[in-house]
Amino acid sequence: MLLHLLPHILNGLALGLLFALLALGFMLIIGVMEVINLAHGSLFALGAYVALAVMAPDGGLPFAFLEPYYALPAGARYAIALVVGPLVVGVVGMGLEICLRRTYGTDPLYGLLLTFGAALVLEEVIRSIWGSSEYFLPIPREISGGFIAGDLIYSTYRIYAAVFAAAMIGVLWVFLNKTPYGAVIKAGAHDSEMVRALGYNLTRLRLLVFGFGAALAGVAGIIMAPIWGIRPVVGVDAVIPAFVIIVLGGVGSFWGAVSAGIMVGLVVALTAAFFTDWSLLSMYLLLLLVVTFRARGLAGKSSVLEA
């Protein structure tokens, strides 16, 4: 029985690590900006579409001068997509942060509404360029297909996605905990005014953190694209699990978000194996179960409301 569940467990781990990567970018923005970025899902979708344009000649950039570029091996184009996609999304995210500046110090509802409007605008921009059809991101032959282990067949790409997401999470942890730039970001999440008092440019910090968080959403969108497909509303499918993971893991907790992402991925994958219609509902039931007994999430700090 366990052997037959193993492919679903591996799928759940891959999905959970990708969810965690997406949620960490979401959490960075919430921590430093104190804004719930409802456009995070649209940035996720934009990353996938930019990668599509970089990978495929019919992916939205039908320019004649690009024909020699599309003659490059698929592996080279995929590597370029992993660089160009997050950069483009990061720049768009920084543009959104500039728009958000007028809402700082006001009712948080203004920032929430602005990011909601930005999500709608990004979705319509995507529709105007790529249309409403669903696309699939072509991937290099080296990481496509499957391999046989015993009596089971595993997806090579899902293994690659899990390893890549785990590596990105590890790099992000090292950056936040072992570099002076990461220390400033963490300090800004706890007390932004103290960071300003120490002589750091808070405006620049917010701009870079928002762009960095958006770039992480773009990376997650690219890696998730061959699994979920690419469509204008895919961002909605991404931002809701990210929000659930932040609450489930505890707002502000790095490893809480990672643990919650893996839990959500496993629950969704295992539920889909037996009760397909309940696969998405299962993560909400998991959230309800956890917050019933631990309102601050798995690793969140206790509040003054708790005894």
- Count how many domains the chain has: 1
For residue 158, what are its two tokens? 């899902």
- Is 122 contained in some domain? yes
26-30, 62-66, 195-199, 261-265: least confident range = 62-66
Q: Over 80: is that where the pLDDT of 51 sits?
A: yes
Q: What is the pLDDT of residue 180?
A: 83
Spatial CA neighbour of 93 closest among 175, 25, 190: 25
How does residue 307 score in pLDDT terms, banded at 50, 70 and 90? very low
Q: What is the pLDDT of residue 82?
A: 93
Neighbours of 120 (CB within 10 A): 12
How does residue 34 score in pLDDT terms, banded at 50, 70 and 90? confident
For residue 64, what are its two tokens? 């004649």
| Average pLDDT of span 13-19 | 90
| Average pLDDT of span 132-144 | 86
57-71, 116-130, 187-201, 261-275: least confident range = 57-71
- pLDDT tens digits, 71-129: 788 888 899 999 999 999 999 999 999 999 888 878 888 888 999 999 999 999 999 98
Q: Over 50: is that where the pLDDT of 306 sits?
A: no
- Is 289 contained in some domain? no
- Is 284 contained in some domain? no
198-202, 253-257, 298-302: least confident range = 298-302
Q: Over 80: is that where the pLDDT of 299 sits?
A: no
- Is 11 contained in some domain? no
CA-to-CA separations, 222 to 42, 81, 128, in angstroms, rounded: 13, 8, 20
For residue 290, what are its two tokens? 């956890």
- Is 291 contained in some domain? no
Q: What span, in angstroms and rounded, lies between the C-alpha atoms of 127 and 45?
A: 11
278 with 271: CB under 8 angstroms? yes
- Is 49 contained in some domain? yes
Q: Over 90: is that where the pLDDT of 47 sits?
A: yes
- Is 202 contained in some domain? yes
Higher pLDDT, 225 or 7: 225
Give the gyration radius of the chain's Cα atoms.
20
Q: What span, in angstroms and rounded, lies between the C-alpha atoms of 247 and 295?
A: 9
Q: What span, in angstroms and rounded, lies between the C-alpha atoms of 253 and 258?
A: 9
Q: What is the pLDDT of residue 281?
A: 87
Q: What is the pLDDT of residue 74?
A: 82
Element (H, E) at 80: helix 74-100
Q: What is the pLDDT of residue 140?
A: 87
| Residue 139 belongs to domain spanning | 24-234
Cut 0.85: pTM above it: yes
Chain length of the chain = 307
∠ CA 278-284-290, rounded to 5°: 130
- Is 109 contained in some domain? yes
17-21, 122-126, 239-243: least confident range = 239-243
